[in-house]
Structure 1
Amino acid sequence: MYAMKYMNKQKCVERNEVRNVFKELQIMQGLEHPFLVNLWYSFQDEEDMFMVVDLLLGGDLRYHLQQNVRFQEGTVKLFICELVLALDYLQSRHIIHRDIKPDNILLDEHGHVHITDFNIATMLTKETQVTTIAGTKPYMAPEMFNSTKPIGYSFAVDWWSLGITAYELLRARRPYHIRSNTSTNEIAHVFKTATVMYPAAWSEEMVMLIKKLLETNPDKRFSQLKDIQDFPYLSDVNWNAVLQKRIMPEFIPTKGRLNCDPTFELEEMILESKPLHKKKKRLAKKEKDANKSNSSQVRASRWIGLSGLDPVWGLAFSYTPSLQPPPLALETNTCFPSQWQEPE
């Protein structure tokens, strides 16, 4: 069973999301890992682009936080282990995700985590430096806001986001009072003056681990798998068993129910101006209208309206034929990102 994400081409152009969509597809095409949401097929028609990905029925961690789930330390410990394996894999592929947060971590039906949404991910190479401010402010590392530092930032920003996420899962609030509308100057002041509070109920080992992830100096921050594996708190972890999903999570999403907000999903369906189930009629009408005039001119103008992207769409999206197409269990229209990103 798979899930299908679809994106309207015209909306991508109108919202200036074309580059991010192509980058997400390009990155995901080369990835496959147990703790990622993997891409299996991609194709397009006249109106939309489609991405067929893993179907995960456990909901995202944001939903469970909103349902007042209080994750126990053992659960968060396993989450951290699974997520650092995913981050290590991304690091080996020179990828910085840049938006690790509860909203972008999905659970499968057994409770294992999977990182999703590579919309603002980027590739780090020896020839390039990453200096673009991109992400969701409450989860962004201090060095991402430091415009006076010309060397940019690296993989350590994802490990900071992991630390923020782990803290939030345990306490149902973030360690720093930073919101999406907080200015960069205010954020810099917060990092310089704020003291992170750690509840007495947390084990000393978990506190030390999160402190290592929330080290404001990226050079001292835990940002390698070896850092985590050598940490005494995790010395008892069988990493091969974690990778093979042989360690069962303590928190398992409720089966037989929709692990997402049905109100939000319903609103999204109502607001969708071009639902897929009416596409056949729309395309038939377009074809009929096209036949009334010069068909070649109509086709040309249709692509010109998409900023001359005809060759780009064709190259970026390749359809992999299959004798037995995968069953699609879920059809979702993409939610365009609310992250903050300066132009590359």
Structure 2
Amino acid sequence: MGANTSSKPPVFDENDDVNFDHFEILRAIGKGSFGKVCIVQKSDTKKMYAMKYMNKQKCVERNEVRNVFKELQIMQGLEHPFLVNLWYSFQDEEDMFMVVDLLLGGDLRYHLQQNVRFQEDTVKLFICELAMALDYLQSQRIIHRDMKPDNILLDEHAPEMFNSRREAGYSFAVDWWSLGVTAYELLRGRRPYHIRSSTSSKEIAHMFETALVTYPSAWSQEMVSLLKKLLEPNPDQRFSHLSDVQNFPYMNDVNWDAVLQKRLTPGFIPNKGRLNCDPTFELEEMILESKPLHKKKKRLAKKEKELRKRDSAQKCLLQEHLESVQKEFIIFNREKVKRDFNKRKANLASEQTKDSQEEDGQNSHL
């Protein structure tokens, strides 16, 4: 009886806030300076997601809390076929969590490192899809500022962008220049500019203005012409709107509705038989991680006892910062937002039908 009871999936009320217990942790697939990403499955719906989790203490120590909150606020208001959309956000004593669309095709940087060379037709489709994503962000007054192969993820249909950021000292044209750099790198396997880690920002700025970008003779003149428009050093003359790309002669044969609806199959499709990411992330989580995610519940229980014993001023100050994060964190549930919207829509339609029937009855009596 005990075994049968424990094997049943937990029952969750759809009106309750989503939390860590609602998900089964499957495996680690990536990491950043203070955050990690793993594949999870929601216990009640069995849907798969990517879950990004960020350690609160590290965020406080590195003064990154406001940036995390800003990213959460932005992503809650966005939804587009070519963006990695946020579904849930929640927290516990240790971490802040963001649950987003899962794309198992890997990022474009991974495939470049696997020596994949993308054909021109494939890159052309990628440009169309990414241009539509940039156009949507532009309509929301958001500059991405970090478009590169590392932040472009693939599923079996299309690339999608992650890590949107609010405008801060740039114009929208910077994203379209980044699109040109990304397309060039996908075609050639390297960037159009030679920059080392030791190159100063002043030298980089001068290089962008003066460097002569070379284009292989094997590329079509139409593609080269488009890339030159995207890589134009003068932002006022650069392509920086979706209409610029759509009206370019090279794009005359593109069905833009089909692009948006993901009906066009790219020439490159990631291998579905394997996970397209670096396997060392999983090994690090299992072997090297001092606070593995799957041992979180036991760790939090132990941490609660330790907090009662802490009395140093420094630790109290840190605790104040962590409590501030706890209070200000933004909880989000896109599933619940959609459900509430559909209910309101159905109620409104029902009221309109009722009013119409009552009006018809009054007319018949007349």
Q: TM-score range by the shorter chain?
A: 0.7 to 0.9
Distance 1:23 1:322, change over 3 A: closer
Greater RCO, 1 or 2 (C-alpha within 8 Å, sep 6+): 1
Task: State which of 149, 154, 166 in structure 2 corresponds to 1:122.
Answer: 166
Determine the structure 2 residue equivalent to 1:29.
76
- Measured in 2, the distance between the counterparts of 1:230 and 1:23 equals 35
- Cα distance change of structure 1 residues 319 and 166 upon mapping to structure 2, 3 Å threshold: closer
Q: 2:174 is matched with which residue? A: 157
Letter aligned with residue 220 of structure 2: S
The one of 72, 85, 110 aligned to 1:63: 110
TM-score if structure 2 supplies the norm length? 0.74
Query: Given the alignment of the two structures, is residue 38 of structure 1 paired with residue 85 of structure 2, yes or no?
Result: yes
- Match of 1:69, SS state, is coil
Rounded to whole Å, the distance in 2 between the matches of 1:319 and 1:189 is: 43
What is the TM-score normalised by the length of structure 1? 0.78
1:172 paired residue number: 189
Write out aligned runs for 1:277-288 (5 A).
277-288=294-305
Secondary structure at the residue paired with 1:96?
coil
- What secondary structure does 2:182 align onto? helix
The one-letter amino acid of 1:115's match is M
2:324 is the alignment partner of 1:305: no
CA shift at 1:307, angstroms?
5.4
Superposition pairs of residues 1-344 of structure 1, within 5 angstroms: 1-108=48-155, 110-118=156-164, 121-123=165-167, 130-131=168-169, 153-267=170-284, 270-290=287-307, 304-306=317-319, 308=321, 310-320=323-333
Q: Secondary structure at the match of 1:308?
A: helix
Q: How many residues align structurally?
A: 288
The structure richer in helix per residue is 2
Q: Which residue type is aligned with residue 181 of structure 1? A: S
How far is the alpha carbon of 1:258 from its aligned partner? 1.4
Cα gap change, 1:39 to 1:321, in 2 (>3 Å): closer
Counterpart Cα distance in 1 of 2:220 and 2:137: 29
Given that residues 130 and 159 in structure 2 are in contact (C-alpha distance below 8 angstroms), is that contact kept between their aligned partners in structure 1?
A: yes
CA shift, 1:268, in A, is 5.5
Distance change >3 Å, CA 9–CA 179, structure 1 → 2: same
Cα 1:44–1:245, aligned 2, differ >3 Å: closer, same or farther?
A: same
Moved more, 302-311 or 164-173: 302-311
CA change 1:306–1:19 in 2 (3 A) is farther
Distance 2:217 2:300 in 1: 61
Question: Partner of 1:217: helix, strand, or coil?
Answer: coil
Q: CA deviation at 1:281?
A: 1.4
Say whether the 8 Å CA contact 1:111–1:251 is kept in structure 2. Answer: no
Deviation at 1:289, TM superposition (A): 3.7
The AA in structure 2 aligned to 1:157 is V
Please give the per-residue CA displacement for 1:167-207, whole angstroms capped at 9, x wherever unaligned: 00000011111234310221133224321110011000000
Please, which moves more after superposition, 98-107 or 173-182?
173-182
The offset of 1:310, in angstroms, is 3.1
Secondary structure of the structure 1 residue equivalent to 2:104: coil
Could you tell me how far apart the structure 1 residues matched to 2:335 and 2:105 are? Answer: 28
Task: Tell me how far apart the structure 1 counterparts of residues 334 and 301 of structure 2 sit (CA, whole Å).
Answer: 24
1:22 is displaced (CA, Å) by 1.2
> Structure 1 CA distance, aligned partners of 2:111 and 2:118?
9
Aligned equivalents of 1:230, 1:317: Cα separation in 2: 41
Q: Any conservation in 2 of the 1:96–1:122 contact (CA below 8 Å)?
A: yes
Percent pairwise identity: 75
Query: Which amino acid counterpart does residue 137 of structure 2 have in structure 1?
Result: L
Report the residue type matching 1:221 in the other structure. Answer: R
Q: Is the 8 A contact 2:53 2:95 kept in 1?
A: yes
Q: Which runs of 5+ in 2 are unaligned?
A: 1-47, 337-366
